A and B are shown apart, each in its own frame.
Chain A
Amino acid sequence: MKFDPQIDELLNGYIDGELNQRQQTEVRRLLANDANLMRRLRELQKCKELVRLLPAADAPYGLGEDIRTSLERRSLLREPSGAFEQRKGARHLLGRRILAAAAMIGLAGLLVAVVYTVLVPAEPGGRTVAVEPRGSVEDSGAARREAMAGSWPFRGTVELRAAAFMEGDASINRMIENSGLSDCTVIERQPGRSRYGIACTRADLALLLANLGYIWGRFDSTRLSVETGEFSERVVVDGVTIEQIGEIVGRGKFEEGLGLARNFAVLNDVTERMPGKEITVAVEESGAESIALIPMPRLTKDERLVKRQVDRGAADVHLAIVVAGVN
């Protein structure tokens, strides 16, 4: 027989002595007048008595000793839990802050070093390929050639990729011709890929770079590989700009050029990872005077572009330009 849960609660409260005086009186009155209720009370009382009859189990011998051992072991392993947790949290936070600060300082130092290397004025013995502001000269070839004279042999490869391969390839071909370097260029063509092996002087390269500056933006990716001369190792500068190539080739010493290439490699890599590519923009803006593009030379009189006969022995720049489509 199922009993009303509220009646059961009342009866259990009565059994457990949890009712107030008025409730107890009421329950007694009900019990006196209801045999079923009295029977239910007995059932519930029996349940309580039966559970209370269960023998009490004593704790296993040595529990106290086990507790002390456990406490000693834990205190050896760690400090008291509250203080430990707080200190652990504080140490963790401090560690993270130090790590973050160190990373920021390292990154800032790296960027400062790279930016400084890029922007610092060239040493007296140093040369810069592109030094003349756009449009400021009619013909600065003589000065440029003077600046470029007598340098370490540069060997490198520029890889250019364009979605419109044919157009890109034709542009490069045209710029080489416009720079008068056709005769000193060896062209290898394969389907979807052209290689222009150019042997020239730094002055010739400066002119070529000035011309390439007008079409550089058409390429989806650019890469300069500078040969170090050691075990066929190369320094690879992804996303290289015309100005960067000029700066590298224009350095007075091989080590300086190589070091600058490495710096540009890091700079471009970092820039590529940063949203908006702020660094390159900042560098390019702040260094506008020193790395401005050489303007396309204009014919001022009845001149014709004369194909340059470069003495292969005098050539100190060996640059391969590889044009390929985008994979």
Chain B
Amino acid sequence: MTEAANISIDDAALVERCRRGDSGAMDRLIRKYQNRVYNVILKICSHADDAAELAQETFVRVIESIDRFEGRSSFYTWIFRIAVNLTLSHCQRKVKLPVKSLEAENDEHSRYGRQLLRDFLRDDRSPDPAVTAQKRELCELAYKALMRLDEAQRTVVVLRDIEGMNYAQIAKVLGIELGTVRSRLSRARGNLREILEAFLP
């Protein structure tokens, strides 16, 4: 995953051109961020259609209010702040379906998948991630474990481990203190570990 620090290049220039009505600059901003924004939204809300709509709404709001963007934060954190706020609001509005018990979910996964997970967690040699990524079953379990976190914890994990933001950027996106990011992320990873352990055969 590309580190967030590398993505602010040209953002200010694109934003300025966008303010002057340059549709080409607007297209570049959309192309630059659409996959990352969509991916973060999807990993938080876990519904592809909702994620597509939320991503669209994010960009529409960004472009409509770009005149009000004062540049006090980076454009990168601003756009993700809009995206995450929209997504979390959407999650709060949405009727929550009852979560299956871990036992019920375990039944849905093959013994092979859970074996893979155990090997991954217990193997201190850290198998090659590229090889491990091919294991669809492992990813499914990881995804389900992530979805079992509450939205606040899941969001910090997604922003840190999937989007690659540093703690300061996460604090800006979520509008919380740096210390809160530390403690929330720490609790999230601890909980994630417990959930994964529960999946093991």
A contact set with B: CB distance below 8 Å:
3, 5, 8-9, 12-13, 16, 18, 42-60, 63-64, 66-67, 70-71, 74, 80-82
Contacts and interface: CB of A to CB of B under 8 A. Distances in A.
B146 A54 contact: yes
Contacts of B35: 56-59
A51 B139 CA distance: 8
Nearest to B33: A59
Contacts of A47: 189, 192-193, 196
B195 to A, nearest CB: 10
Given A46-B121, A60-B38, A60-B52, A54 B166 contact: no
A80 B64 contact: yes
Contacts of B92: none
Interface of B: 1, 27, 30-31, 34-35, 37-39, 42-43, 48, 51-52, 55-56, 59-60, 63-65, 67-68, 120-121, 124, 126, 129, 132-133, 138-139, 142-143, 145-146, 157-158, 160-162, 166-167, 182-183, 185-187, 189-190, 192-193, 196
A144 B190 CA distance: 105
Contact of A52 (B1, B67, B185, B190): B1
Contacts, number: 129
A70 B133 contact: no
Contacts of A16: 160, 166-167, 185
B122 to A, nearest CB: 9
Contact of A63 (B52, B166, B167): B52
Tell me if B's interface is mostly helix, strand, loop or mixed. helix
A3 B185 CA distance: 15
Contacts of B193: 43-44, 46-47
A63 to B, nearest CB: 5
A9 B190 CA distance: 10
B30 A67 contact: yes
Contacts of A42: 124
Given A48-B161, A52-B161, A56-B1, A63 B138 contact: no
Contacts of A67: 30, 56, 59-60, 63
Which among A3, A64, A74 has the highest number of chain B CB atoms within 10 Å?
A64
Contact of A46 (B120, B166, B182, B190): B120
Given A47-B189, A51-B146, A55-B133, A18 B139 contact: no
B129 A53 contact: yes
A59 B186 contact: no
Contact of B38 (A48, A58, A80): A58
A51 B142 contact: yes
A201 to B, nearest CB: 80
A3 B59 CA distance: 42
A51 B126 CA distance: 14
Contacts of A80: 64, 67
Contact of A59 (B52, B139, B161, B196): B52
Contacts of B187: 5, 8
A34 B54 CA distance: 46
Contact of B56 (A18, A56, A70): A70
A50 B118 CA distance: 12
